[in-house]
Amino acid sequence: MNVSDTRELKLYGIGASDGISIGQAYLVDKKGVDVIKRYVIQERTLANEIKRFKTAVSKSNNELRAVIEASPEELRQHANIYETHIALLKDKMLYGRTIAYIEKERVNAEWALKKVIANIKLIFQNMDDSYLRERIVDIEHVSELILRNLVGAKQENLADIDRRVILVADDLSPADTSQINLKKIMGFITDGGSKTSHTGIIARTLGIPAVMGLETATRMINTEDIIIADGTQGTVIVHPSEKTILLYQERQNRFEQRKAVIARNCDITAETSDGFRVKVMGNIELPEEVVAVRDHGGDGIGLYRTEFQYLRNHAFPGEATLFNSYKDVVEKMYPNQVTFRTLDINGDKVLRYHIDNYHEDNPALGLRAIRYCLKHPNIFKIQLRAILRAAAYGNLRILIPMISNCFEIKETRRLLDEAAASLAADGLLYKRDIEVGIMIEVPAAVIMADVMAPKVDFFSLGTNDLIQYTLAIDRGNRQVAHLFNPLHPAIVRMLKSTADMAHKHNIGIFICGEMAGDPLYTPLLVGLGIKELSMNPFTIPIIKQTVRSLNFKECQQFTHEILQLADAAEIAKRLQQNFGAMYYEEADVCEETVNGKTA
Ligand code: PEP
Ligand code: MG
């Protein structure tokens, strides 16, 4: 927080959706469900209390069903979150335990629910699996919905907002966002949430600026306060001075103009001024996201994280289910290519329904990805069969995660042959002749790239894990997040040596880690001769635009120079010096830099 000479106040959070909005705040009040009191229930009214709880659950269920039905077309793809909430309503852990608590402790339903939820949160918080940890938010949203129906608290009617405002809330549940007339919303500001929270995803889908994780926004902002939400920088300015408003209006105009141009041009090929062509592809987690890749001008799917379909299920999906969704994805993308990364399970993505009978102290270094698949070949083969069958319907290739040994490649190829033979024996249509590549995300694979290259068709650099494993930084640990730096010279050198080895052996070299989707790094990646970049679909247009503004020879020369540097900060400075003008336009740099002062 920062106080300037006026009443102006700057709050710092996480930029969850790009863009700037300036306008009046609307503070969403969570009246009624904040303070829950405990009452003792008499024996004779106990059944009634339980009935009251069940009625509130069923009312919540009806509300969620109504929300699904009323979801506008453009948000349909996100409606599965409500299905999750409906499932949670009747989850044994929540539903059964609350009823048991009312009966045992003879207390009111609100209190019982509050206690049960506190307990569930405690269990989830202590889980190693970050996916499950993140489900706490869903549990909170569901319990709030039931509570509201229990206490009869009038939900603030967000549907009644009839003027253009910037919404300020502690957090917004999917049910909250679904009620709002989104045309009235200029921006989202929340105390909680993150880039990957539901509101963040919706905001990006609709192009509404959003700043989340501000912690104190609801205490600092009142309804009708004038505020500025800068979703690019992740900042909020409360009571901005006239000078600040003018400055941000200018930035807003530039941002909007630029966005319009970039969006209009997203189907134009990404080629540097001297003819180096880069394929800009999308990363997807679920089949529904194919549309976003196509709509943003993606040249294909460079990373399909197939594990998410397993994570959202309650049991292993069968071959028919996998085949149908894979076939759908390849058909929708045809003639462009889809890169199926085989199951990257465990580490931070544990399957609830298949936890082996052992404990891992360091799951990131444990039985993850290809290691898991080779230990469970029967599970792996179901996926391989589904992929080979889908290959007959489109253009796909296979990518194996977390390779650190040559035998893992050999073994996967053997299982692919076995899968193909079994498909032939079953008389099913399939295609065996497909490219097989490996993720380069473990330092051992970088060092062994010369030996591995002849065994595969392409390398795909997974910088998220490569940085984690090389710099010894847990990618999910906030304490060391500041050290997670793609420009660390060790990483730059690794990218260089892997790219060189791929070129030498004439195989593909791609990148699908987060680094690919940040225009700051594009000159470096182009300079290394990387021909395919794969990223969050929404960043495809800006990366295509960035590539078009570069010159390949200059990037090569630049990359050669920075490879001599031993300091990440120095590399970042050189990027700014050489391509800075481009970033000022791309990212709408922070106020201090615009004014010529250091940030
Ligand atoms: C990576 O590690 O860079 C990568 C793309 O894979 P994931 O983020 O799914 O581990
Ligand atoms: Mg990875």
List Cα–Cα distances, 29 to 47, 169, 221, 237, 314, in angstroms: 33, 7, 12, 20, 35
Mean pLDDT of 69-84: 70
469 CB-near residues (< 8 Å, 6+ apart): 364, 441, 442, 443
Mean pLDDT across the chain: 87
Which pLDDT score, from 0 to 100, does residue 418 have?
98
**Same domain? 229 vs 274:** no
Q: Which of 151, 179, 213 is the last residue of a domain?
A: 151
Mutate to test the pocket of ligand 1, among 309, 340, 464 (most ligand atoms within 8 A of CB): 464
CATH of the domain at 436: 3.20.20.60
Answer yes or no: are the C-beta atoms of 6 and 221 closer than 8 Å: no
**Same domain? 136 vs 190:** no
Answer yes or no: are the C-beta atoms of 258 and 54 closer than 8 Å: no
**Same domain? 470 vs 545:** yes
Ligand nearest to the CA of 516: 1
How many angstroms separate the CA atoms of 162 and 181, rounded? Answer: 8
Which pLDDT score, from 0 to 100, does residue 599 have?
28
Ligand 1 atom 5 nearest Cα: 513
**Same domain? 83 vs 102:** yes
Q: Which of 221, 239, 257 is the last residue of a domain?
A: 257
Mean pLDDT of 478-494: 86
Q: Is the CB of 513 under 6 A from ligand 1?
A: yes
For residue 497, is it within any domain? yes
Q: How many A from CA of 277 to the centre of ligand 1?
A: 24
Nearest-10 crossing angle of helices 46-70, 136-151? 120
558 CB-near residues (< 8 Å, 6+ apart): 523, 524, 527, 574, 578
Q: Give me 281's structure tokens.
A: 């592809």
Q: How many A from CA of 465 to the centre of ligand 1?
A: 6
Q: Is the dihedral of CA 534, 539, 545, 549 positive or negative?
A: negative
Which pLDDT score, from 0 to 100, does residue 587 have?
43
Q: Is the CB of 307 under 6 A from ligand 1?
A: no
Q: Residue 596 above 50 pLDDT? A: no
Answer yes or no: are the C-beta atoms of 392 and 326 closer than 8 Å: no
Q: Is the CB of 486 under 6 A from ligand 1?
A: no
For residue 211, is it within any domain? yes
The catalytically annotated residue of 85, 296, 488, 512 is: 512
Q: What is the DSSP letter of 77?
A: G
Chain centroid, CA 401 distance in Å? 18
Q: What is the DSSP letter of 361?
A: S
Q: Residue 150 above 80 pLDDT? A: yes
**Same domain? 281 vs 386:** yes
Q: Which of 191, 223, 257 is the last residue of a domain?
A: 257
Mean pLDDT of 12-40: 81
For residue 164, is it within any domain? yes
Helix (H, G, I), strand (E, B) or coil at 284: strand
Burial of 72 (0-12, 13-18, 19+ CB in 10 A): exposed
Which pLDDT score, from 0 to 100, does residue 491 have?
97
Mutate to test the pocket of ligand 1, among 130, 289, 305, 473 (most ligand atoms within 8 A of CB): 305
**Same domain? 79 vs 227:** no
Look up the domain containing 195 and give its range.
9-29+156-257
Nearest alpha carbon to residue 254 among 593, 519, 590, 587: 587
Percent of the chain at pLDDT > 90 equals 54
Confidence band for 21, pLDDT divided at 50, 70 and 90: very high
**Same domain? 23 vs 81:** no
Report which listed range, 78-87, 187-196, 485-494, is most confident.
485-494
For residue 569, is it within any domain? no
Which pLDDT score, from 0 to 100, does residue 130 have?
60
Ligand 1 atom 3 nearest Cα: 462
Ligand 1 atom 1 nearest Cα: 462
**Same domain? 272 vs 214:** no
For residue 584, is it within any domain? no
**Same domain? 249 vs 329:** no
Q: Residue 164 above 50 pLDDT? A: yes
Q: How many A from CA of 459 to the centre of ligand 2?
A: 13
List Cα–Cα distances, 509 to 75, 282, 494, 522, in angstroms: 35, 16, 13, 15
pLDDT digits (tens, 9 = 90+) for 535-556: 988 889 989 999 999 999 999 9
pLDDT digits (tens, 9 = 90+) for 456-469: 999 999 999 999 99
Atom of ligand 1 nearest to the CA of 464: 3
For residue 504, is it within any domain? yes
For residue 81, is it within any domain? yes
Mean pLDDT of 506-517: 94
Q: Residue 1 above 50 pLDDT? A: no
Ligand nearest to the CA of 341: 1
Answer yes or no: are the C-beta atoms of 402 and 369 closer than 8 Å: yes
> Residue holding tokens 């800009």?
280
CATH of the domain at 16: 3.50.30.10
Percent of the chain at pLDDT > 70 equals 88
Answer yes or no: are the C-beta atoms of 431 and 392 closer than 8 Å: yes
Q: Where are the strands (E) in 93-137, listed by range?
A: none
Q: Residue 595 above 60 pLDDT? A: no
Confidence band for 162, pLDDT divided at 50, 70 and 90: confident
**Same domain? 133 vs 214:** no
Residue 512 catalytic?
A: yes
**Same domain? 187 vs 57:** no
Mutate to test the pocket of ligand 1, among 304, 441, 521 (most ligand atoms within 8 A of CB): 441
Number of domains into which the chain is organized:
3
Strand order in the sheet with 235-238: 2-3, 9-12, 235-238, 226-230, 20-27, 165-169, 185-190, 210-212, 14-17
Ligand 1 atom 4 nearest Cα: 462
CATH of the domain at 72: 1.10.274.10
Which pLDDT score, from 0 to 100, does residue 171 have?
80
The catalytically annotated residue of 141, 198, 296, 488 is: 198
Residue 359 catalytic?
A: no
Q: Give me 345's structure tokens.
A: 């399970």
Ligand nearest to the CA of 511: 1
Burial of 369 (0-12, 13-18, 19+ CB in 10 A): buried
Ligand 1 atom 8 nearest Cα: 464
Q: Give me 574's structure tokens.
A: 């050189």
Mutate to test the pocket of ligand 1, among 196, 307, 344 (most ligand atoms within 8 A of CB): 344
**Same domain? 559 vs 503:** yes
For residue 395, is it within any domain? yes
Q: Is the CB of 512 under 6 A from ligand 1?
A: yes
Q: Residue 308 above 90 pLDDT? A: no
Answer yes or no: are the C-beta atoms of 272 and 253 closer than 8 Å: no
Looking at the whole model, is its pTM more than 0.85?
Answer: no
One-letter-per-residue 3-state SS of 409-434: HHHHHHHHHHHHHHHHHCCCCCCCCC
